[in-house]
Structure 1
Amino acid sequence: MKAAVIGTTFIDCKGFSRQEYSPLGRNLGSIQFVHGGVGRNVAENLALLNVPTFFVSSVDRSALGGEVAARLKKSGVDLEFLSHSDSRGMGMWLAILDHCGDLAGSISQMPNLDLLEELIEEKGHGIMEASSHIVLEIDLNSRISGRVAGMAREYGKKLYGIPGNLEVILNNPELLAYTDCFICNDIEAGKIFKTSLEGLEAGDLLRELARFASGSGIPSMVVTLGERGAVYYDSRTSETGYQPVIPTKLVDSSGAGDAFFSGAVMGLINKYSLGEAVAYGTRIASWTIQVEENNCLDLPFRMREEKLFGNIISAGGKGISRTAG
């Protein structure tokens, strides 16, 4: 069992406002540079969750790029398919967090995706042969996502999708049918469903989710609702449900989505039901939003202390004790 995470690497510049944030005023607080990028965050999370993981991406051939690679390697990520570039191998994200830890504004600078596209063309078949599961940051560009989705289907690999800015998904909605499970938040879901989900209760959201997933040929889908929890639907088993959040002191919400996705994918890779996988995702997200980074680096310790992860620990750090497929 080994997952290949295909996505971006970012360096995040995060500003934490000490008091109520004023967009037009001076705001005292703290500023930190942290490792980020959806793909990078997910790859590190999965490795910390005892899922053997390749990271398929690019980094700069610089001190910062070396630091990113060294940390991933220390966390247990396999960097066989990581490429290096003299410039723009990594993106940057400028984020402002208000005094409650919620995102108040941001600006992104994307990496040069030609580098990742070349990597997929050159080593895509090798990646598929070496991996049991594929995790894709779908909103890279249509060529990368289309190529990866096609190869995953060709090789019979389960594909788990996470969105970015929705540019690729909204222009190529058929890609979602290639996924075994697609996970997004309620704002993203409203745009994808082309209907307003604002103010809907969990039961109504579940009906909208089931309608869209069934009509679009998506095997399973999860929609996170922020502080309201998450809803999920599996068209193959007709399993639907609602998962509440775990009460947590919020420090930084910006890594919550990637953490939730990582925990859910960890469960699915190990053949847990969608509902069980969503419970794992909820717990991982609750731990992650308690820290100022995009990843909770003490996940292994927290897992040992958490009854929910008993099966993982009993497997001796090699994954959940069910047969992986």
Structure 2
Amino acid sequence: MHSGTVVFGTVFMDCKGFAANRYDPLGRNVGSVRFIHGGVGRNVAENLALAGSAPVFVSSVDAGGLGEEVLARLSAEGVDVSRVRRAEASGMGIWLAVMDERGELASSISQMPDLSIMEAIIREEGEEIIRGAESVILEIDLNDFISGEVLRIARKYSKKVYGITGNMEVVLRNRHFLRELECYICNETEAGRLFGAPVPAGEPERVLETLVNYVDAERLKSMVVTLGGAGSVFYDGAERNGGFCPSLPTEVRDTSGAGDAYFSGTVEAMIRGIPLGDAVMYGTKLASWTIREEGPTCRTLPEPLF
């Protein structure tokens, strides 16, 4: 079975509040509240489909109206959801987020889905799914078993794996996982935890120097650190090629899906054979389109990404 890119990740239902005026963390804030389909894995799968790919999504959703709504939307966009399991409870997570008047994330609380459902998928179908894939995208910090097994099977069948994080706990416990990734992409906060020192987002040259030293010391293949509005830095350890990619001037409405969009555009470009130094430009473009929207993806691209 040939299934293109396979995405292992979560589905969340995002409850987002958007402040209409200056956000006061201790006061009452007038604005709007919306329920939005989210989750790192779900966002990436939808982004890939919007960019012209046909990914297979491996995840779980709640059995019921909300779960079916998530699956229907992904399917309509071109995502293969045949590997998504329905669960009576906790099939998907909940993310409560407050966005300030600039569209920046002010605070949030996450409730994780029951990851034993995805563990079961990997035990029962993991070999078949990964063997038939061209490449694998992994939300690498779900838990130790999921990441370890996906990487093991991918290694067995010589499949390239691209990693994205939602938090950092699994990565910090298993730094060796990163050596098995074709590319690891994270933001400056996550990179700071990995490097053991704060990352000065406003000083990309210093960040790039730190990144090069880290990738070489840890024997990683390639890594990218996003710096928010300051752009991103990248380094391909195999090609010994690194650099800086500036951000694009953009009217910001909601930044919460920017990282997933950047990852999706960059990785899709790499899968298409575009070198990392050029691939990051596609990620930057998709992220700039996404933060114009009040949602984690840009469902109507202003122009084809590729």
TM category (shorter chain) comes to over 0.9
Structure 1 counterpart SS, 2:129: helix
Structure 1 counterpart SS, 2:102: coil
In structure 1, the partner of 2:213 is 211
Contact in 1 for aligned 2:200/2:207 (Cα 8 Å): no
Q: What is the TM-score of this pair, normalised by structure 2?
A: 0.98
Superposed counterparts of 1:289-304, under 5 Å: 289-299=291-301, 302-304=302-304
In structure 2, the partner of 1:35 is 37
Superposed counterparts of 1:245-284, under 5 Å: 245-284=247-286
Aligned identity (percent) is 49
Superposed counterparts of 1:1-325, under 5 Å: 2-198=4-200, 201-299=203-301, 302-304=302-304, 309=305, 312=306
Residue-by-residue CA offset, 1:13-38 (whole Å, 9 max, x unaligned): 00000001111111000000000000
Q: CA deviation at 1:80?
A: 1.9
Separation (CA, whole Å) in 2 of partners of 1:162 and 1:207? 22
Structure 1 counterpart SS, 2:303: helix
Contact in 1 for aligned 2:200/2:206 (Cα 8 Å): no
Separation (CA, whole Å) in 1 of partners of 2:22 and 2:281? 32
Q: CA deviation at 1:175?
A: 0.5
Structure 2 counterpart SS, 1:293: coil
Can you give the 5+ residue segments of structure 1 that lack an aligned partner in the other structure?
313-325
Q: CA deviation at 1:199?
A: 6.0
Separation (CA, whole Å) in 2 of partners of 1:94 and 1:211? 37
Q: CA deviation at 1:75?
A: 0.4
Residue-by-residue CA offset, 1:97-149 (whole Å, 9 max, x unaligned): 00000000000000000000000111001111221000000110001000101
Residue-by-residue CA offset, 1:45-80 (whole Å, 9 max, x unaligned): 001111120000000111000000000000000012
Structure 2 counterpart SS, 1:247: coil
Q: CA deviation at 1:201?
A: 1.8
Q: CA deviation at 1:291?
A: 0.3
Once the two structures are overlaid, the 10-residue window that deviates more, 225-234 or 198-207, is 198-207
Contact in 1 for aligned 2:201/2:227 (Cα 8 Å): no
Q: CA deviation at 1:198?
A: 2.7
Residues matched between the structures, number: 304
- 1:28 counterpart letter in structure 2: V
- 1:303 counterpart letter in structure 2: E
Separation (CA, whole Å) in 2 of partners of 1:255 and 1:199? 19
Q: CA deviation at 1:261?
A: 0.3
Contact in 1 for aligned 2:105/2:256 (Cα 8 Å): yes
Separation (CA, whole Å) in 1 of partners of 2:198 and 2:32? 36
- 1:126 counterpart letter in structure 2: E
Q: What is the TM-score of this pair, normalised by structure 1?
A: 0.92
Contact in 1 for aligned 2:202/2:230 (Cα 8 Å): no
Residue-by-residue CA offset, 1:240-291 (whole Å, 9 max, x unaligned): 1100000000000000000000000110000101011100000000000000
Can you give the 5+ residue segments of structure 2 that lack an aligned partner in the other structure?
none
CA RMSD of aligned residues (A): 1.0
Structure 1 counterpart SS, 2:205: helix
Q: CA deviation at 1:200?
A: 6.1
Residue-by-residue CA offset, 1:194-227 (whole Å, 9 max, x unaligned): 1222366222111110111111121000000000
